[in-house]
Amino acid sequence: MQNSRSTYHILFICLSAILLASCNNSKEKDPDIITDPETINSYVATNINSALNSANIKLGRIDDSTRLNLPGVVKAYYIKTDYQPMWSSSGKWLNLTDSLYRLIVNAENEGLFPKDYHAGELKFLKDSLDADSLTRMNATWWTKADLLLTDGFMRLIKDLKQGKLQPDSLSLSKDSVLVDKFFITTLTELMEKKKFSELINSLQPKHKSYWELKKGIKKFVDGMDRNEYTRISFPFKRGDAKDSLYFIKLLQKRLLESNCIDSLTGLPDSDQLFKAIKKYQLQHGLEPDGKYGKNVVNSLNTNDVEKFNRIAVTLDKYKQLPEKMPAKYIWVNIPGYYLRVVESDTVLFESKVIVGKPETSTPMLTSEISDMIIYPTWTVPNSIIVDQYLPRLKKNPGYISKIGLKLFDSKGEVVDPLTVNWSKYSRGIPYKVMQGSGDNNSLGVIKFNFNNPYYVYLHDTNQRYLFKNSLRALSHGCVRVQDWEKLAYYIADHDSVKNKRRDSLRYTADSIKNWIAKKERRRIDVKNHIPLYIRYFSCEGINGTIKFYEDIYGDDKKLIDRYIVKK
């Protein structure tokens, strides 16, 4: 027994000696294993130089699996720093690295996507370098980590500053001054001042609503259902058997994903589909009529992944606004169906609005309220004449008179619609169709004009009962304002306060009240124009949570497909 133990002891010593020799030989053969930590930086610098020269040739690829987002910017920075590693030294992470790494892996809390900043690769590298002493001696791993952290930082500050929706001017410009001014200067500032959070916050919009939206993101992300569901296109082409069949297949697949229908070898019959839709409607608080339609499809297409994408898009829309908003302005949010008057980041009052139907959508624009018209007339747009009036006029030439409109020729003279040969017109008519002022006018009591190429404006309406609807995409493109009186009086008061020579101002809020009471038609020039922003924001932050609005025009879906999903 004693001899046996001695034999095993001798064999163990011999085997250990062989393995140690093997390891030593391996280290000698592998130039990337650096036994002296004090020399790692010089090896990493050499490797960075080599990798960036290779990346320049291979359009950003530093190896078969890794591609830099901004190779030109990254290289420009390392040239200025003589290719020295930025995020580690002598085989140890620097303090700033932890802040950057945490921001990257938790980028969703900023409304960003971790994969855009190499989160997966960086997690693997960091975990490996932190856990294994042999790996910490590998210059190649430190090189790759440094390059990915620098590239991730550059892409991160670009997305925080500019977003994805604007032209890629910061990253693709050939102007080296711009590269110096933003990317290199920003990273240099970070390395000098080492104030990470302060710098990151300084890059982002100052708008109060932007930060209100960001407040709700973490709560949303923490409870997020990350399953991706089949998206259904609707409406489908009626009478097109192929298109309707495709719709039913998608609907079946989506209902199966929500466990509302059993897996079938073929298409469901009408009774199976009815029961499945009704089950889904009951689960999601919809009217359980068992019928598919816009509301059901919108609900099926709305999921947490899609909502997060809309958060990301909305944050980027704030980055398209002026860096500093005016002290006073009017804000119309199309999907939110509201108008707000804002002073110094405080909402003075809010009004419900009616916006354009999807087929006659309200345009997004920036302008200024220039004048108001009390008891306006209404000139019918050509699009309404062609789409709605002409087909009826061809059947009944007296239709215009029946609905209270008049026809005028180019000289401004009234034309009898019964004398016009309507059958020869299809794309328009050589007449103006107008509605006189009064309580029954489609524009209501007042119209707010602002310069724009779309011939739209804010106005009252003679269909005020429509403000009771929760979904108010009902107009031909103009914005109907429920609290038009408040808006008119606010504009008048603003004009009065801003006007130094009050005697030169020919109207006040009281003047407007009197003219309305007397039903007098008046045009009022607004001397101090108030900025107007009509925008499309399908979500916003309210008291730490996020409120979502229907993507009524599908605008966000288009942006998501183009800039985020990139199908």
Q: Is residue 143 predicted with pLDDT exceeding 70?
A: yes
Listed residue (58, 34, 73, 50) closest to 144, CA to CA: 50
Q: What's the pLDDT tens digit per position in 28-66?
A: 445 678 888 789 999 999 999 999 998 877 788 888 888
Q: Which residues contact 304 (CB under 8 A, 6 or more apart)?
A: 220, 224, 225, 226
How far is the C-alpha of 71 from the C-alpha of 288, rounded, in Å? Answer: 55
- How many angstroms separate the first and last alpha carbons of the chain? 72
How far is the C-alpha of 347 from the C-alpha of 345, rounded, in Å? Answer: 7
| % of the chain residues with pLDDT over 70 | 91
User: What band does 362 get if pLDDT is binned at 50, 70 and 90?
Assistant: very high
Tell me the three-class secondary structure of 186-237, residue by residue.
Answer: HHHHHHHHCCHHHHHHHCCCCCHHHHHHHHCHHHHHHCCCCCCCCCCCCCCC
How far is the C-alpha of 161 from the C-alpha of 525, rounded, in Å? Answer: 39
SS3 call for 276: helix
Q: Is 428 left (phi over 0), alpha (psi -120 to 50) or beta?
A: left
User: What band does 178 get if pLDDT is binned at 50, 70 and 90?
Assistant: low
User: What band does 308 get if pLDDT is binned at 50, 70 and 90?
Assistant: very high
More confident residue, 31 or 216: 216
Task: Check: CB of residue 347 under 8 Å from CB of residue 331.
Answer: no
Q: Which amino acid is at 149?
A: L
User: What band does 4 get if pLDDT is binned at 50, 70 and 90?
Assistant: very low
How far is the C-alpha of 477 from the C-alpha of 354, rounded, in Å? Answer: 9
- The mean per-residue pLDDT over the stretch 85-114 comes to 96
208-238 b/e (C-beta count within 10 Å ≥ 16 → b): ebbeebbebbeebbeeeeeeebeebebebee
Phi, then psi, of 521 in degrees rounded to 5: -80, 120
SS3 call for 153: helix
SS3 call for 396: coil
Q: Is residue 8 predicted with pLDDT exceeding 60?
A: no
How far is the C-alpha of 146 from the C-alpha of 231, rounded, in Å? Answer: 39
pLDDT at 263: 84
Tokens linked to 175: 């102007």
Task: Check: CB of residue 353 under 8 Å from CB of residue 332.
Answer: yes
Other beta carbons within 10 Å of 178: 14
Q: What's the pLDDT tens digit per position in 186-200?
A: 999 999 999 999 999
pLDDT at 553: 94
DSSP state of 182: I
State pTM to two decimals: 0.85
Q: What fold does the segment set 331-548 form as a domain?
A: L,D-transpeptidase catalytic domain-like (2.40.440)
- The mean per-residue pLDDT over the stretch 515-529 comes to 92
Mean pLDDT of the chain: 88
Tokens linked to 441: 């006018």
Q: What's the pLDDT tens digit per position in 337-355?
A: 999 999 999 999 999 999 9
Q: Token match 């309220």: residue? A: 369
Q: Which amino acid is at 176?
A: S
Q: Is residue 301 predicted with pLDDT exceeding 80?
A: yes
Domain ranges of the chain: 1-25, 31-204, 331-548
pLDDT at 27: 40
pLDDT at 279: 95
Least confident range of 97-106, 401-410, 452-461, 474-483: 401-410
Number of continuous H segments (helices) and E segments (strands) in the chain: 22, 17
Q: What's the pLDDT tens digit per position in 378-432?
A: 888 888 888 888 989 889 988 888 888 889 888 888 889 898 898 888 888 898 8
H or E element at residue 15: helix 2-29
Please list the residues that pair with 430 across neighbouring strands: none
Q: What's the pLDDT tens digit per position in 554-565?
A: 999 999 989 887
DSSP state of 224: -
SS3 call for 265: coil
User: What band does 231 get if pLDDT is binned at 50, 70 and 90?
Assistant: confident
* Cβ-defined contacts of 56-64 (< 8 Å, 24+): 62/144, 62/147, 63/144
